[in-house]
């Protein structure tokens, strides 16, 4: 069937015959043709069918010039055979690096044996086993698991669960400034970013507090008996890799118990070993009522998210035959190959000591970056994080320039936020074959979330490249970036 002809006001199509002899195949691209595409064709299709506005930012960073042909371990390999060191890690989605052999073997065997993929009508041994493994990795009485396909879906499930468990008399949900819990419509209400909220109508049963301010939380709990839930990232990712002290989390747990408030810990990005413990909240000796995982839970090869709840909380919401299906797994929750991938991933995580490696090698990365902060105090404002979830914050742009230029440029600091991060990220890729990430709310922060397989030699390569780049000086960095934009 030919593509419908477009008109200025609406699309018109001819009604097909009731019994057509044959339906013509559209002009489709095959797998092999997709693999062979050059960058010009990829760019055209991206602009035409995906996100034209996003292409603008990719061009600024120079990312549009790279076509990834394959990936292995800590590296991407581009169309020219260049090996790009991955310190971005897909926002924490690549705990095992790229194409870990055990993960590939588990998926290949699943396919070769033609095992079932979607088993909604029957019991799934794969979903059951994955839920068991997640529960075994979870402390306290976190043992009821909901499986989905993304962090947003896991957090949607968490928020719906606790709202029902808290009951209709306690409908209000507390969330933190600079939080990020997903872009889907429900959790958008507790995602504190105007960029993502835009002009969407979001739920109004929410209350915002400063992150890591326990006095503000206590005041709310005392003053508003309708508050039934608090939702917090244990480490804020989009906020710029922001942490709270141990005393905050311990007092929060006590306040939740005292006032009967349910605590949801969003561990979608900071969980799964990234902080040097399976869950980041384990550093503080506390356990939430509900938590969520995603990102690396799919071992870099599948989209898997999970909500994990205390049994008593889960049963309050969905514990009867009448309520059991209110939020049961969706069509692709617990898919066979995705579950097998996640099962193998969790086993690899422990078999290869990757959580311990995140703690030790992550500490080495922090130490080396701290030394750079001391070497370049006028450029680097702060280095912070845990394990392999690290934020490197630059000073406002004017403060990095020679003294004579600061008064003139300082009036533009707000508009220039993120520019130095962008310059550095772009030049690290262009000149040093290193990929880094950025943060949503504090644009002066470079986000480092390398795979948990990262070794000290990878840290040395990254830090040495970063050191070499900063040694050019800010004026030279700006000039080099401007030159990179010429002729785009």
pLDDT (tens digit, 0 to 9) for every residue of the chain, 488 residues total? 444 455 555 667 666 666 667 899 999 999 999 999 999 999 999 999 999 999 888 888 888 999 999 999 999 999 999 999 999 999 999 999 999 999 999 999 999 999 988 877 888 999 999 999 999 999 999 999 999 999 999 999 999 999 999 999 999 999 999 999 999 999 999 999 888 999 999 999 999 999 999 999 999 999 999 999 999 999 999 999 999 999 999 999 999 999 999 999 999 999 999 999 999 999 999 999 999 999 999 999 999 999 999 999 999 999 999 999 999 888 899 999 999 999 999 999 999 999 999 999 999 999 999 999 999 999 999 999 999 999 999 998 766 766 666 665 655 556 666 788 999 999 999 999 999 999 888 889 999 999 999 999 999 999 999 999 999 998 888 888 887 776 55
- The DSSP bridge partners found for residue 194 are none
Q: What's the pLDDT at 396?
A: 81
Query: DSSP string spanning 115-155?
Result: --S--TTS--HHHHHHHHHHHHHS-TTEEEEEEESSHHHHH
Count other C-beta atoms under 10 Å from residue 246's C-beta: 12
**Four-CA torsion 39, 44, 48, 50, nearest 10 degrees:** 10
Q: What's the pLDDT at 16?
A: 66
Q: CA–CA separation, 305 vs 370, rounded Å? A: 34
Q: CA–CA separation, 224 vs 268, rounded Å? A: 29
The CA-atom distances, in angstroms, between 286 and each of 248, 308, 321 are 11, 15, 32
Gyration radius from the chain CA atoms: 24
Count other C-beta atoms under 10 Å from residue 414's C-beta: 9
Is the model's pTM score more than 0.85?
yes
**Mean pLDDT, the chain, integer:** 92
Over residues 252-301, the pLDDT tens digits come to 999 999 999 999 999 999 999 999 999 999 999 999 999 999 999 999 99
Q: CA–CA separation, 309 vs 62, rounded Å? A: 43
Over residues 140-174, the pLDDT tens digits come to 999 999 999 999 999 999 999 999 999 999 999 99
Query: DSSP string spanning 266-309?
Result: E-TTTTTTTTSSSSGGGGGT---SEEEE-GGGGTTTS--EEEEE
């Amino acid at each position: 069937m030919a593509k419908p002809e477009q008109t200025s006001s609406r699309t018109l199509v001819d009604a097909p015959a009731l019994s057509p002899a044959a339906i013509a195949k559209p002009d489709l691209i095959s797998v092999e043709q997709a693999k062979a595409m050059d960058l010009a064709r990829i760019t055209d299709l991206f602009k035409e069918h995906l996100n034209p506005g996003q292409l603008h930012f990719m061009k600024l960073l120079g990312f549009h010039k790279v076509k990834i042909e394959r990936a292995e371990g800590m590296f991407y390999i581009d169309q020219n055979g260049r090996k790009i060191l991955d310190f971005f890690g897909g926002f924490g989605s690549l705990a095992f690096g790229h194409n870990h052999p055990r993960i590939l073997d588990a998926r290949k065997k699943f396919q070769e044996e033609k095992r079932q993929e979607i088993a909604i009508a029957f019991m799934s041994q794969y979903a059951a086993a994955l839920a068991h493994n997640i529960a075994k990795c979870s402390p306290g009485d976190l043992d009821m698991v909901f499986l989905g396909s993304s962090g947003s879906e896991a957090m949607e499930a968490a928020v719906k669960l606790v709202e029902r468990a808290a009951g209709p008399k306690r409908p209000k949900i507390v969330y933190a400034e600079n939080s990020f819990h997903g872009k889907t419509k429900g959790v958008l209400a507790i995602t504190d970013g105007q960029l993502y909220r835009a002009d969407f109508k979001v739920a109004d049963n929410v209350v915002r507090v400063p992150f890591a301010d326990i006095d503000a939380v206590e005041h709310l709990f005392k003053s508003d008996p309708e508050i039934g839930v608090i939702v917090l990232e244990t480490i804020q990712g989009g906020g710029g890799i922001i942490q709270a002290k141990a005393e905050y989390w311990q007092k929060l747990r006590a306040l939740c118990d005292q006032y009967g408030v349910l605590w949801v810990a969003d561990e979608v990005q900071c969980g799964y070993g990234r902080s040097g413990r399976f869950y980041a909240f384990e550093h503080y000796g506390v356990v939430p009522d509900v938590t969520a995982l995603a990102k690396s839970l799919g071992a870099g090869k599948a989209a898997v998210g999970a909500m994990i709840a205390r049994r008593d909380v889960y049963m309050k919401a969905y514990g009867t035959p009448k309520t059991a299906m209110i939020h049961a797994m969706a069509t692709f929750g617990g898919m066979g190959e995705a579950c097998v991938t996640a099962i193998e991933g969790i086993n690899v995580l422990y078999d290869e000591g990757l959580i311990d490696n995140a703690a030790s090698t992550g500490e080495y990365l922090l130490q080396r970056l701290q030394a750079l902060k001391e070497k370049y105090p006028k450029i680097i404002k702060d280095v912070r994080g845990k394990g392999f979830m690290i934020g490197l914050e630059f000073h406002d742009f004017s403060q990095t320039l020679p003294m004579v230029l600061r008064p003139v440029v300082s009036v533009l600091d707000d508009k220039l936020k993120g520019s130095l991060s962008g310059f550095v990220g772009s030049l690290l890729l262009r000149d040093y074959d290193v990929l880094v990430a950025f943060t949503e709310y504090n644009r002066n922060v470079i986000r480092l979330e390398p795979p948990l397989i990262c070794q000290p030699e990878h840290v040395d390569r990254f830090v040495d490249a970063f050191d070499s780049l900063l040694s050019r000086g800010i004026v030279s960095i700006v000039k080099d970036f401007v030159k990179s934009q010429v002729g785009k």
